Amino acid sequence: MRQALQQEFDDRMTNWYRLNGIRSHLSWDQQTIMPEKAALGRGQTLSWLAGQAHNHITDDKLGEVVSLLEAEIRDLDDDDACNVRRMRREIDLATKLPVELVEEMASVVSQARQVWQDARAASDFAMFAPSLQKIIDLTKAKMQYLGGDSANYDVLLDEYEIGMTMADYDPLFAGLRERLVPLLDKIMRSQRKKPELSLPEGMQFAIADQDSFCRFVSARMGFDFTAGRLDTTTHPFCSGLAVGDTRITTRYDESDPFSCLYAVMHETGHGLYEQGLPDQHALCPRGQAISLGIHESQSRLWENQIGRTTAFWQVVLDTFKEKFPELPPDLGAEEMNRIANAVKPSFIRVEADEITYNLHIMMRYEIEKKIFEEDLPVAEIPEVWNTMFAQWFGIEVPDDSLGCLQDVHWSYGAFGYFPTYTLGNLYAAQLSAKMVDDLGDLDEIIRSGDWSPILAWLREKIHSHGMLYDPSELIERATGQPPSPEPFLDYVEKKYSRIYGL
Check pLDDT > 90 for residue 105. yes
CATH code of the domain occupying 166-500: 1.10.1370.30
Q: Which pLDDT tens digit goes with each residue over 373-432?
A: 999 999 999 999 999 999 999 999 999 999 999 999 999 999 999 999 999 999 999 999
Picking from 45, 11, 8, the residue whose alpha carbon sits closest to that of residue 26 is 45
Q: Which pLDDT tens digit goes with each residue over 328-368?
A: 998 999 999 999 999 989 999 988 999 999 999 999 999 99
Strands 238-242 and 245-250: antiparallel
Q: Which pLDDT tens digit goes with each residue over 273-329?
A: 999 999 999 999 999 999 999 999 999 999 999 999 999 999 999 999 999 999 999
Read off the pTM. Answer: 0.93
Contact present, 323 and 342 (Cβ < 8 Å): no
Average pLDDT for 450-479: 97
Check pLDDT > 70 for residue 204. yes
Cα–Cα distances in angstroms (integers) from residue 487 to residues 255, 380, 467, in the given order? 34, 38, 24
Per-residue pLDDT, 234: 87
Q: Phi then psi for 192, rounded to 5 degrees?
A: -65, -25
Rg of the chain on CA atoms, in Å: 23
Distance CA 320, CA 313 (A): 9
Q: How many CA atoms lie within 13 A of 173 on its CB side?
A: 23
CA 225 to chain centre: 21
Q: What is the mean pLDDT of the chain?
A: 95
CA triplet 321, 325, 328: central angle to 5 degrees? Answer: 80
Picking from 340, 270, 255, the residue whose alpha carbon sits closest to that of residue 304 is 340
Residue from 8, 70, 254, 267 carrying the catalytic annotation: 267
Is 383 a known active-site residue? no
Amino acid making up residue 269? G
Partners of 242 in beta bridges: 245
Check pLDDT > 90 for residue 193. no
Alpha helices in 229-277 (DSSP H): 257-276
Distance CA 293, CA 77 (A): 27
- CB proximity list for 68: less than 8 A, separation 6 or greater: 5
Picking from 351, 347, 190, 325, the residue whose alpha carbon sits closest to that of residue 260 is 351
What totals of helices (H) and strands (E) does the chain contain, helices first?
20, 3
